[in-house]
Chains A and B, each alone.
Chain A
Amino acid sequence: MKGKHDMRGTILATVAMLTACVLGCGGEAEKQAAGSKGTIGVSVLTMTNPFFKTIADTITAEAAANGYATTITSGEFDVAKQQNQVKDFIVAGCSAIVLCPCDSRSIGPAIEEANAAGIPVFTADIACLAEGVDVVSHIASDNLGGGRLAAEAMIEALGDGGGEVVVLDFKQAESCILRVQGFKEVLEQHNTDHPDAVISIVAELPGDGKKDQGFKCTEDALQAHANLAGIFAINDPSALGARAALEKAGKADDVVIVGFDGQLDGRQAILEGKIYADPVQFPDRIAAMTVDSIVRYFAGDEVATQQLIPCELYRQAEAEADESLK
């Protein structure tokens, strides 16, 4: 009896110490030395995507340079969790909140609460579409423009011959809808100007922005459309999934892939010629612009409600000159 009693005590104590240790260390690492001006609470979509990791890291760095501390969290696609994080920001008395909403509409109530507490909210990359809430500014890539760039790359790659193209989309995300919209706009214009080299979109499949899903959809597309000439994938993982399917089917040289994002994997694939080109986004610029907006807001300057960061086209030539790939 005595021995067991003691053992349980030991275990409890160990767990408590472990917890304290983890919390202590984590707390030290994440909560940057409190700046004089207050804390910015950040909740991104997911930390498993380097894009959002870059946003979070850059915000932390830029905020520190401007005298703000940051608390970084991630909703991991769970909007209820993200709502709780916002509530915790409010309780902790954050000066400003930056969100990459897990759901464009369902995030509304959380932002409403921040509004009620008088804390300004900024969105980065993903917009809030809920009505009646107050977002100071939305900072994101110019996805529409990026989509146009993607279409230009596709036209360039297919040359004068035209051909059949498949789009791997992700309809749940507003940004991806815009990319496809821009892509279609330019193709339509091209088709009216060059009726001899028509590029027709034969299918729009749900690639879900994931590698496995992109792989499956491309396999199916290859079955249905033997003459496939090009694939436009709305991000790098689905583009790489498409590439894998092409390699498996032995059609890697016949089908051109245009991706989106310009993440490290994507850029590497462009360097190796696996993906033709990416309109690249600049998460660091988005983050820097976000912090800049916060500083300007608190200084009483005018801040536009939407600020778009243009994308740039990135081909093999750019990849060869890219220092970060060496």
Chain B
Amino acid sequence: MNVNNDSATPVHRFRGVAAAMLADQGMLLVLVLLCAFFSVVTLDEQTPAGAEAARQLAASLPEELAEGGRLLVVAGRGGDEDAFAASLAEQAAAAGWQVVAVSQGGPREARGALEELAAGQAADVIACSSSAGAWGVFDGLGKRLPALAEARVLRPEPSRWPNFLKTTNLLNVANQIAVIAIVAIGMTLVILTGGIDLSVGSLIALSSVAGARMIRDVCGGQEAGLAGMLAGAAAGVVVCGVAGLLSGGVVTLFGIPPFIATLAMMLVASGSAYILAAGQSINQVPDAFVWLGRGADLGGIPNAVVLMLVLYGLAHIVMSRTTFGRYVYAVGGNAEAARLSGVPVQRVVLAVYLLCGLLAGLGGIVMASQLKSGAPTYGQMYELYVIAAVVVGGTSLSGGEGQVLGTLVGALIIAVIQNGMNLTGVESYTQKVVLGLVILAAVLLDRLRSRRG
């Protein structure tokens, strides 16, 4: 592409580069466009929370309340709400207002506090956190409790910002796709060799169940320590590794098409998961088990996302810098030529299915951790989402062409579409239609690109 452009004018050269960018990074562009689109669509009123909300209210209070005025603080439960209540009470006291009561809890507690105030000393201003401000307790307050008819209800002022671009949401997107993205690394390798692995969805379930059972039956259930949890995770991953090895073995030794071999493994793994779990979900795992799926130790980035990024980094290096990576591409591009160049084709294929199984197992453990339990119903249809991520990421189903990082982009595209549609309230049927169209568009793009090549 864009070689021999020496004779071209600068304009032509620019167009050549632009076309190349579009072909090579087309999906990245699509991702950016999608993000921009959802940012616009999900523009919404945002209400400040926690100490920030308290600061805002405290700043507006002097207009409403004379020195020594009586103030009721109402907030809900939980971290942000606690911070709001504590911070506001402190600032109010510092400014010389009288905090007559701080009500924390649900609407019921708030109502109790209101009734108590109405019976007693009343209040001039009721300062609510954003979530408490939406409660119905304050509707028609004057009628129900005439003693509080004079009281003004203050809520933090909302500002406008896209729901999509909130930090919590962006981390959500990454966290939601972590399982699929991790499994998709293995799938990328398999597809690069010209194969396919349909069993990954079932392996996710199998891994979650095997891991959870290991923890429940061997490592002491809810009292299991770190070693126990690691043993459980290892059990899930290893079981899936063995399954991957079996698939790979059947493919290489007997020449069974990967589609058939892994279809069989999909049924075997799913059935095994149901047997192991006796059809139930297993949730006798320690609370600390959710560390991987829900913890966020590195600057607020969820641990599952960190794991995903590290794995992608590793996979990219392995695929671009090691002989193994070269071999994978060569086997997919032309197995016979690779064999005659001395590439151990069978071993490479075997290793690729093994890796795919291991990564599916890891995905299952992450999912079990996110859901704090293992169940045979996990991962249904995930093989299709995983394959979609790989294909959208630009990897050719006929093998030999594609990039691991492309798969990450593909997975993110799927996650952004799902998240964006959830945020805008598109129901699930329409979501499927849109997702289908996107996959189609991706393959079209791939086809156009290969026609150019």
Contact = CB atoms under 8 A, between A and B. Distances in A.
B259 interface: no
B276 to A, nearest CB: 15
Nearest to B283: A105
B172 A109 contact: no
A73 B428 CA distance: 6
A20 B106 CA distance: 39
A23 B420 contact: yes
Interface in B92-146: 106-112, 114, 131, 134-137, 139
B134 A105 contact: no
Contacts of A297: 106-108
11 contacts: A1-B452, A8-B26, A19-B434, A22-B437, A72-B427, A76-B428, A91-B168, A109-B290, A109-B293, A109-B372, A301-B111
Contact of B172 (A4, A47, A91): A91
Chain A interface size, as a band, is: 35 or more
B3 interface: no
Contacts of A301: 108, 111
A82 to B, nearest CB: 10
Interface of A: 1-2, 4-5, 7-9, 11-12, 15-16, 18-20, 22-23, 26-27, 29-31, 37-38, 47, 71-74, 76-80, 83-85, 87-88, 90-93, 95, 102-106, 108-109, 115-120, 130, 136, 171-172, 295, 297-302
A111 to B, nearest CB: 11
Contacts of B267: none
Query: What are the nearest 8 A-B pairs in CB distance?
Result: A300-B111, A26-B426, A118-B76, A31-B425, A298-B136, A88-B422, A300-B107, A15-B441
Contact of A300 (B26, B110, B367, B437): B110
Contacts of B134: 37-38, 95, 298
A169 to B, nearest CB: 12
Contact of A88 (B41, B172, B452): B172
B281 A103 contact: yes
B72 to A, nearest CB: 14
B111 A73 contact: no
A252 B81 CA distance: 62
Interface string B410-438: 00000001111111111111100110011
Contacts of A16: 33, 37
In this complex, which of A92, A136, A171, A302 has the most chain B Cβ atoms within 10 angstroms of its Cβ? A92
Interface string B368-390: 00111101011011000000000
B448 A8 contact: yes
A57 to B, nearest CB: 12
A62 B433 CA distance: 29
Contacts of B283: 105-106, 108, 130
B91 interface: no
B321 interface: no
Given A26-B430, A300-B135, 15 more contacts: A1-B19, A22-B437, A30-B425, A72-B427, A90-B168, A106-B372, A115-B77, A118-B76, A118-B77, A120-B106, A130-B283, A298-B135, A299-B135, A301-B111, A302-B108
A161 B106 CA distance: 57
A116 B424 contact: no
Contacts of A116: 78-79
A12 B441 contact: yes
Interface size class for chain B? 35 or more
A19 B428 contact: no
B31 to A, nearest CB: 12
B137 A299 contact: yes
Say what secondary structure dominates the interface of chain B: helix
B425 A27 contact: yes
A130 to B, nearest CB: 7
A256 B176 CA distance: 48
B254 to A, nearest CB: 33
Nearest to A120: B106
B380 A77 contact: yes
B60 interface: no
Nearest to B37: A20
Contacts of A300: 106-112, 114, 135-137
Nearest to A37: B134
B373 A106 contact: yes
Interface in B40-61: 41, 44, 46-47
A119 B135 CA distance: 11
Contact of B424 (A1, A9, A27, A37): A27
Contact of B371 (A1, A8, A83): A83
Contacts of B37: 16, 19-20, 23
Interface string B228-241: 00000000000000
Interface in B266-314: 279-281, 283, 290, 293-294
A22 B434 contact: yes
Contacts of A95: 131, 134
A71 B136 CA distance: 20
Nearest to B176: A84
Contact of B451 (A4, A108, A299, A302): A4
A24 B281 CA distance: 38
B444 interface: yes
A107 to B, nearest CB: 8
B445 interface: yes
Contacts of A20: 37
Contacts of B339: none
A30 B380 contact: no
A23 B434 contact: yes
Contacts of A71: 425
B424 A109 contact: no
B453 to A, nearest CB: 11
A136 B281 CA distance: 24
A18 B372 contact: no
A299 B110 CA distance: 9
Contacts of B380: 77-78
A9 B19 CA distance: 10
A23 B444 CA distance: 22
B347 interface: no
B375 A79 contact: yes
Nearest to B222: A131
B2 to A, nearest CB: 10
B405 interface: no
Contacts of A76: 428
Contacts of B109: 300
Nearest to A79: B371
A119 B441 contact: no
Contacts of B76: 118
A280 B209 CA distance: 36
B326 interface: no
B427 A73 contact: yes
A206 B270 CA distance: 18
Contact of B47 (A77, A85, A91, A93): A93
